[in-house]
Amino acid sequence: APPPPYLPRAVPPPVGDISISNIDASTGQIDLGSTARIQNLVLKDAPAREVLELLARSAGLNLAFYTGNTTDQPGQPGASTSTGGPLVSLNIQDESAQDVFNYVLVLSGLQANRIGRTIFVGAQLPAGARQLISRTLRMNQVSVGQAVGFLIAQGAEQQQVATQTQVTIVGEGPGAQRITNTSTSVSRIAAQPEIPVPGQNLGPSAALLLRGVLVTADERLNAITLIGEPRKIEIASALLTQLDLRRRQVAINVKIVDVNLLKTDDFSTSFSFGIGDAFFNIDAGAAVFNYGGVNPPSANSTFGGVVAPGVVANPYAGSNIFLNPNSFVSIPGTSPGSVVIAPGGIRRLANPGSASFYEPFVTLDNPLQPGFTDITPATDNITTIAADGTVSTSAGTLGTVTSALPSLFQYPTRFLSKLRAQITSGNAKILTDPTMVVQEGERTRVNLTQEVLGGFQTDFVQVGNVVQPQRRPIIKEAGLILDIQVPRIDDNGFVTLAVAPTVSAVGSQVNTDDGIIALLQKREMQSGQIRLRDGQTLILSGIIQESDRTTVSKVPLLGDLPIIGALFRSTNRQNQRQEVIVLLTPQIIDDTSGKGSFGYGYTPGNDTRQILQRQGFPVPNR
């Protein structure tokens, strides 16, 4: 086949909508409370302190400039060796005094706070001169550790308290003393300086919006306390609100179908016949010929016997023997004689004679013809006359017979034939049909297995100076294992997941010195990450194991003849195809207010309803 054509042009993959959230990151403004305007102002390399004093005086306000810690904090914004602060250059026309005042603060990096009619300005104002607020936020979804790390990356600071305990043992024996010293240290975690320090490497140039905000974490309540200026606290709160979004959840319905297609074509012929002392038997392609009426002895019975020909135990001993009531056999000495014992001595009246017995025989040609296996003769009625003339009579008993079917059957010599043709096929069954709720970034696992013994493992463990072997069983799991991972659920209704089903069964059993162990037949697949729409069904197939076996048994020469050769051979063809099909259907759960109805429409069946009612659970009416 020809190769497929190339695309006419490069086509990028589709891009969905991206959720966007904006935050106003502008700094706070100092309100001068004045409508004064600057008509014309030109300055070159003027100290920021003098410029701010001029602008504050034009608005009728006072200005207090703080020059402390300007050299002790070399990395702080606006730090300078001059008490007048950084130098600024301005060329302003027709601008409000308030805007120009805030422009100078932005350029110089100075902090400012208005209290009454006085504006406090400095490179780093004391805490009492700054407008500080404290706000505590209890996080719902994100952990405080992740939230604190996020805020520190934005410029916030954290005071981390570490407690170290040192244990020292003084002395030996029962008189030893245990001395414990506990020390507490506080470390500061913050971003690098924003302005490069002389003699050091260049610092970061990124905008750190939360510089000057103190962050404290409470892991017990999963809460964060923020301390700083109101504008920065608002920015930090907005960032935490975006960070604390709920992870979406998806309900994944998984159907695993095990398709076992087994097709067996079986054709065989069996027949037998006898001629004189010869007997022929053809059974499913195997030919047997016997002459003489008895099978020849085996090599073991001839070679291992004491006499020749060999002697073996009769395999038919203990079989039923019938009695012929119409034929008798007379055996001498089996009839009792008569002896009279009198006070004068013992006198024989008659010698033992011959008695008649039923002649035994065996029925071999008809297994449904019953016969007598035992006959009990009747006893005589005896009349006794005593010396005094008294007569007494003893009644006899009736005879009984026992009948049964013959326990032996001999195949007749007439022609017997049997033709066998069979075609069998398999079917499919659903192994499992669960519905699992998985959160974004999590994984779930379904394990429907049975433990089987897969052998023993010997480990050598050293006990003292002796290495001793320890045997432990190897337990394997046979059944179904389903592993599902959901790394991403995006805002456009797409679910990215990975599924790894494993279906295993006992293939065969092996008898070893340690006992019978099971060999597992396993079919496993890993899909990798795939993307599905909400409610879309994915069918994973191709987990196939196929085998085709043909077995032919035939009589030499006769089985190769055309047409009639089918009577002398047996053909068995088995085609087995096993396939596992996985059907996945994700459904994104909308758990917002008024829409979280997933799982509430379940209607149990009659049997499940009775079980739930006995356990005391409320069951909805049908």
Residue 44 belongs to domain with CATH number? 3.55.50.30
Contact assessment for residue 484 and residue 436, using Cβ atoms and an 8 Å cutoff = yes
Domain that holds residue 351: 328-410
Whether 577 maps to a domain, the answer reads yes
Enter the tokens of residue 412: 């007749």
Do 234 and 120 share a domain, yes or no?
no
Do 142 and 220 share a domain, yes or no?
yes
State residue 576's pLDDT score.
72
C-alpha distances in Å from residue 177, one per residue of 165, 181, 533: 16, 13, 69
Whether 60 maps to a domain, the answer reads yes
**DSSP per residue over 328-397, as a string?**
EEEEEEEE--EEEEETTEEEEEE--EEEEEEEEE---S-TT--EEEEEEPPPPPEEEE-TTS-EEEE---
Cα separation of 181 and 204, whole Å? 40
The CATH number for 148's domain is 3.30.1370.120
Mean residue pLDDT across the chain: 78
Contacts of 483 (CB under 8 A, 6+ apart): 443, 444, 445, 499, 500, 501, 502
Cα separation of 565 and 568, whole Å? 5
Across the range 449-460, mean pLDDT stands at: 83
State residue 118's pLDDT score.
92
Do 450 and 533 share a domain, yes or no?
yes
Do 448 and 571 share a domain, yes or no?
yes
Whether 260 maps to a domain, the answer reads no
Across the range 569-578, mean pLDDT stands at: 76
Helix (H) or strand (E) holding 461: strand 442-463
Say what the pTM is: 0.59
Cα separation of 373 and 408, whole Å? 13
pLDDT tens, residue by residue, 390-414: 767 677 676 666 767 777 666 666 6
Q: Of 355, 376, 410, which residue constitutes the final position of a domain?
A: 410
pLDDT tens, residue by residue, 509-550: 788 777 788 888 787 878 889 899 998 998 877 666 667 777
Do 354 and 373 share a domain, yes or no?
yes
Whether 487 maps to a domain, the answer reads yes
Q: Is the per-residue pLDDT at 296 higher than 60?
A: yes
State residue 545's pLDDT score.
67
Whether 20 maps to a domain, the answer reads no
For residue 174, say if its preceding peptide bond is cis, omega within 30 degrees of 0. no
Whether 172 maps to a domain, the answer reads no
Across the range 103-107, mean pLDDT stands at: 89
State residue 194's pLDDT score.
53
Say which residue, 622 or 66, is predicted with more confidence: 66
Do 481 and 564 share a domain, yes or no?
yes
Cα separation of 496 and 530, whole Å? 6
Over its C-alpha atoms, the chain yields an Rg (Å, rounded) of: 53
Q: If you average pLDDT over each of 114-118, 295-299, 376-380, which comes out highest? A: 114-118
Do 562 and 600 share a domain, yes or no?
no
pLDDT tens, residue by residue, 464-514: 788 888 888 888 888 888 899 999 998 888 999 998 888 887 877 788 777
Q: Is the per-residue pLDDT at 605 higher than 50?
A: yes
Across the range 317-335, mean pLDDT stands at: 71
Angle at 386 between CA 380 and CA 391, to 5 degrees: 55
For residue 586, how many C-alpha atoms fall within 13 Å in the half-sphere facing its CB?
26
Enter the tokens of residue 598: 């997933």
Burial of 495 (C-beta count, 10 Å sphere; 0-12/13-18/19+): buried
Do 582 and 434 share a domain, yes or no?
yes
Whether 540 maps to a domain, the answer reads yes
User: Running DSSP on this structure, what letter comes out for residue 582?
Assistant: E
Cα 243 vs. chain centroid, distance in angstroms? 32
Residue/partner pairs of 552-559 with CB below 8 Å, 24 or more apart? 552/285, 553/284, 553/285, 553/286, 554/285, 555/282, 555/285, 555/286, 555/287, 558/287, 559/285
Contacts of 532 (CB under 8 A, 6+ apart): 494, 495, 497, 538, 584, 586
pLDDT tens, residue by residue, 167-183: 888 877 777 888 888 88
Across the range 206-218, mean pLDDT stands at: 87
Say which residue, 580 or 492, is predicted with more confidence: 492
Whether 373 maps to a domain, the answer reads yes
Do 521 and 510 share a domain, yes or no?
yes
Written as one letter, the residue type at 458 is T
Q: Is the per-residue pLDDT at 199 higher than 50?
A: no
Report residue 137's pLDDT band, with 50, 70 and 90 as the boundaries: very high
Number of domains in the chain: 5
Q: Of 410, 438, 464, which residue constitutes the final position of a domain?
A: 410
Do 598 and 582 share a domain, yes or no?
no
pLDDT tens, residue by residue, 15-66: 888 888 888 888 788 888 888 888 888 989 899 988 999 899 888 899 999 8
Do 404 and 471 share a domain, yes or no?
no
Cα separation of 85 and 50, whole Å? 9
Cα separation of 20 and 317, whole Å? 97
Q: Of 360, 385, 410, which residue constitutes the final position of a domain?
A: 410
Cα separation of 91 and 40, whole Å? 8
Do 455 and 580 share a domain, yes or no?
yes
